[in-house]
Structures are given as C-alpha cells and as structure tokens.
Structure 1
Amino acid sequence: MRINAAKKTETIVMVALFSALIAVMTAFVKVPTPIGYIHIGDAFIFAGAMLLGPYAAIPAMIGSGLADFITGYFMYIPITILIKGLMGLLSGIVLGRKERPLPLKFSFFLEIGLIFALCELIMTAGYFVFEMFFYDTAAALGAAPFNLIQGAAGVIVGLVLIPVIRKLNIKNFKINK
C-alpha cells in the first residue's frame, strides 16, 4: 500500500512540475510573431512524455492552456488544450513503452525524432485550421511557417533533453511500472 501511495504522490508531483515547466517555457521563453509567438514549451511536453508516458497529456494541457491564459491569447486556450494534449498523449504512448533507461542509440533518436516531428505537424495543422476559421486563410498561411519553426525547435530541444533526463536521479521514474 505504501508503494502505491508513494508512486501516486510522485506522479502528482511530476505532473505539477511539468505543468509549471511547460507554462514557463511557453509563456516566458518566447519570440513574438505576427499572430502569436514561438516557444520551446513543446520540448518540455516531450520531456514529460519520457517520464509520464501517455499521462504527459495532463501537464501538456494544463501548462499550455495556462501559458495562453498568462499571455492573453484567450481564444487559443481550447484549441491549445486539444492540440497539446494530443501531442503529450501520442509522444507519451510511444515513449512510455520504451525500455529504461532510455537508450542513446542513433536508431532510438531517429524513431523518437520522427514521433516528435509527427506531433509538431499535428500542432501545425491544428493551428492552421483554427486560424483559418478564426482569422482567414491568408493569416493561417502566414502563421504556418512560424508554427513549423516552433515545431522544429521543439523536436531539437526535445531530443537534446533525452540524455539530460537520463542523467537525472528521476531517470527510472515511469508512471506505468
């Protein structure tokens, strides 16, 4: 019973930690664009997926939604929660099934990089559709390259975080053990 209670507490702490990291890295570490901003919060969604598996959807939704609230992009909150939650879920499903500690092989980085890239393409497409309806097609087309740049940054920083997380004392934490 104590092990389960300890694991539950550890999981709650990790969800809270990644919610805060995602919010801060999204709202405060950013580059403005004509419609929004570019940030590295997505990399921390992926970092959360490494440790929380599919439950990374929870801090992805909380942190990203909170960042939109903090920065005043209120109209984006619902779509952000949907898109970022999906990114956390998909990357978490794949990473949650990986052996521990995470291998540092080229094939692993290639596979995970492709999963991260797929998540970022989903993000770009999701915001494109939203902006097409909220603004117009021209605005959505204008924002798409910035979303792709943000996605590329998320993939690169996310991959860089893999060996960093591996070296932390929490490297063997896995919610679905």
Structure 2
Amino acid sequence: MKKMNNIKKLVIAALMAALTAVATMAIQIPSPLHGYVHLGDSLVLLCGIVLGPLGGALAAAIGSMMADLLTGYFIYAPATLVIKGLAAFAAGLVFSGLAKSAKVQVNRYAAVVISGISSAVIVILGYFVYEIFLYGVPAAAANTIFNAVQGIFGIIGAFVLFPLLSKVPDIRDMLNMPHITPKKSAN
C-alpha cells in the first residue's frame, strides 16, 4: 500500500511539473527585460501546497525551467530553477504550517492566499537580484512590477484551482483533507 502511495505521489508530481510548464508556456506576455508574464505561478504555488515543500519545489522548479528552455528563454533557466523551487518550497511550508496549526485557525483558502504572498515575494526578490547582474539595478527594479502582476495572477489562479484540486481523491488525501468531499446528487 505504501509503495502504491509513493507511485501515486510521483505521478502527481510529474503531472504537476508538466502542468506548470504548460501553464507557463500557454500565455506569455513579454516584459521589457526579455522575460515574460505568465500564468504558471498559479501551478508553482499549487505544487508547493499539494506536494509539500520538497516535492513541490522539485516539480515547480523542473516544470518552470523546462518552460524557459522550450520557449527560448535560456538566460532565465538557471535562475528559474532556483527561484521557482524556493517559491514552491516556501508556499508548501507556509500552507502546511497554517493549515495544520491548532493555534491559528486559518481556513485553507486563506492559507492559499497567504502562502501565495510568500511565494510571490520570493519570485519578485529572486528575479530582481538575478536581473541586477544581467541588466543593472534600474532595469531590474522596473521589472519588479511585471513580477508582482504575475504573482497576483498566480495567487488568483491558485485560489480558483485549489477547490477543484481538493475534490480529487488522491490530492485530497495528500492534503489530508478528508472533510472535503464532492457533493452528492439528490437522486
């Protein structure tokens, strides 16, 4: 049984990495500094929440970096690997800490938003530091606006997708959320 659970978690992690890459590549709005704004951060956030800090970091980092490589943003790939991994790691830590804390009564949807904020801050600061080396401080500072917008859309996307993912039995089990069950029909 434990082996089957490990296989399910591995499959879900691979699926989350692939979905992160697809969400990142599907809509790309170029930013002034050769980067782009995308919807992939919602999946980065959900990787951390669903898979936990370590598994989420690996899935988000690999999926996000693959999107950079597959769309020609090679210069960002190394930074993306680290930054998105750290963002998902932080999201997973914050979410699990808030969702499981007996002292702090935080609803899981509020935990998604709070963990999303921590994730977005890491992305904004991470790319700011990286872009200082590439383009200098003024240009890197200007690009923080685009990273902030991306972070906001990532939080909104994760907030919308979280209830849907929570209804998937295997993901609900991973989240340790047995109390959330699909509504039964009146028939």
TM-score, length of structure 2 as denominator length: 0.82
2:91 match: 91
Quote the Cα distance in structure 1 between the aligned partners of 2:106 and 2:52.
Answer: 21
Secondary structure of the residue aligned to 1:14 is helix
Quote how far apart the aligned CAs of 1:113 are: 1.0
Larger Rg computed on CA atoms: 2
Quote how far apart the aligned CAs of 1:167 are: 2.0
- Structure 1: gaps of 5 or more residues: 100-104
Secondary structure of the residue aligned to 1:170 is helix
2:39 match: 40
Letter in 2 for 1:27: M
Quote the Cα distance in structure 2 between the aligned partners of 1:28 and 1:160.
Answer: 18
Q: Higher relative CO (CA 8 A, sep ≥ 6), structure 1 or 2? A: 1
Secondary structure of the residue aligned to 2:170 is coil
Letter in 2 for 1:154: G
Identity %: 35
Structure 1 residues 20 and 69, CA, compared in 2 at 3 Å: closer, same or farther?
Answer: same
Letter in 1 for 2:12: M
Quote the Cα distance in structure 2 between the aligned partners of 1:107 and 1:96.
Answer: 12
- Structure 2: gaps of 5 or more residues: 177-187
1:143 match: 143
1:130 match: 130
1:152 match: 152
Trace 1:44-63 onto structure 2 (pairs within 5 A). 44-54=43-53, 55-63=55-63
Question: How many corresponding residue pairs?
Answer: 169
Quote the Cα distance in structure 2 between the aligned partners of 1:66 and 1:157.
Answer: 20
Quote the Cα distance in structure 2 between the aligned partners of 1:170 and 1:29.
Answer: 29
Secondary structure of the residue aligned to 2:21 is helix
